[in-house]
Amino acid sequence: MTKYNDISIHIVELLGGKDNIVFFTHCVTRLRFNLKDKSLVQQKKIEQLDKVVGTQWSGEQFQIIIGQDVETAYNQIIEENHLKPATDNSSNNTQEKKKSKGKFSFSSFLDILSGCIVPVIPILMGTGMIKVLLLLLTTLNVMSTKNPTYFVLNFISDAGFYFLPIFVGSTSAKKFGTSEPIGMLLGAVLISPAFIQSVAKGDAISLFNIPIFKANYTFSLFPTILAVFVMSYIERYLKRFVPNVLKSILVPFLTIMIAAPLTLWIIGPIGYFIGNWLMKGILWLYSTTGFLGIGIFAAIYPLMVMTGMHTVLNPYSVQAFATLGYEPITTIGMFVSNFAQGATCLAVGVKAKNNKVLRSNAFSCAFTMFAGGITEPALFGISAKYKTPLYGSMIGSFAGGIFGGLMQVKAYAMAGNGGPIGLACLIGPNAMNLVWGIVSVFVSMIVTFIATYILFKVPENDASKSVTIKNNALFNS
């Protein structure tokens, strides 16, 4: 592999050495590093590496923005530097947890959500798009709901959401540095067929004569995340005191015997109410503020992405798709905001006709968005750097969000892409839903272009050369 040589060869040294890396993983577009000593990071030099779009700190985590091909970079860094992948890094996770003990913050909460939820999003995107495909085929009368192929594809799609507690049990265990199989088991306990049937029938359920709260935990996130979090402490405590000769038997046995009942009695219900309250709270805001709320959300969305706060929306989105079958707020807000970033770069490129470096950089960032649905180059290379393009994009996003809210545009699957391809998730029972979604995007782009062109002033001396090289490298690869 030679694609990310510059990164793989130099990144460990620029992060303070291999011993300074506590935990290393990636999300959809970013490499994520948890480090022992933040002062050892040479951030400016990292930003000059080929194919690095940008960098930022999110709490204690250092993020390097690569783009949609981030997994290739991740694998090359691991191979080149003999690092352990996140799936094998439970000991490092434990060190990270000890280091941050007693230092809980909102940024650490975002980091936990990201580590537990982001890895399962590809499953939800893929199965959600199968559901959209089936909806399109039945709407066009290409396939009947009684067709055997429809039946099979439908239960494949449902499996992605139904077994979500098991998937999250695995990712949460990795994040908390505990047993992955037992984490998956706790998720499986919550959706055990016998338990689900008893809940459906309304039967009284108890364990050791202590009643169990009757809830349907399919499609849920928080119950499993909380259960695995508590389980990680139980397992760690048992490993300290159980004799080595008995650890292989007693530790898993006692961990399950303690964690599973606690999950059914206390932890599961708490997570269930958190998930429901989160979704109902956001939907209440939507019903109260209506189209205005979507406009405001779309306007602030780029700020949420830059700070990593958009991660908070994932649990709500999953819950909405699972319970409502659609999502009416965040997806259309994300689309109009993303396309606004492309439009603001176009405006900067058009206006900077006498600044070849800035012009090239702006058009490159616009291409990144329109071709791949990736906004980071535009956000960090143009909007955040020059400020007025950010204001222009927020004005346009607000306008596009208002229109999308007025037309009640809904998403029927998680968007696998924030660009043109991802708009397929707007295909629904109402054929005009996709049309109004596209119109919302164009409203956002037109208003953004005009606002940015008016607000932006081309700087006389602009040092954009390094950014241009990075963005061009992203597409020439």
Give catalytic residues, as residue numbers. 27
SS3 366: helix
List, in sequence order, every residue forming a beta bridge with 34; answer none if it has no partner.
23, 61
CA distance 361 to 186: 49
Q: Of the candidates 310, 320, 342, 308, which has an alpha carbon nearest to the alpha carbon of residue 444?
A: 342
Neighbouring-strand partners of residue 58: 61
Give the C-alpha distances (Å, rounded to integers) separating 251 from 184, 234, 235, 255: 16, 9, 7, 6
Radius of gyration of the chain (CA): 24
Q: How far apart are CA 399 and CA 4, in angstroms?
A: 39
CA distances from 276 to 84, 224, 268, 270, 360 (A): 37, 14, 12, 10, 47
Burial label, 353 (beta-carbon count in 10 A; 0-12, 13-18, 19+): exposed
Cα(260)–Cα(281) distance, integer angstroms? 29
CB atoms within 10 A of CB 362: 30
Angle at which helix 313-323 crosses helix 121-139, to 10 degrees, equals 30
Phi, psi of 326 (to 5 degrees): -160, 170
User: How far apart are the C-alpha atoms of 148 and 328, rounded to whole Å?
Assistant: 31
CA distance 70 to 76: 10
Burial class (CB in 10 A: 0-12, 13-18, 19+), 149: exposed
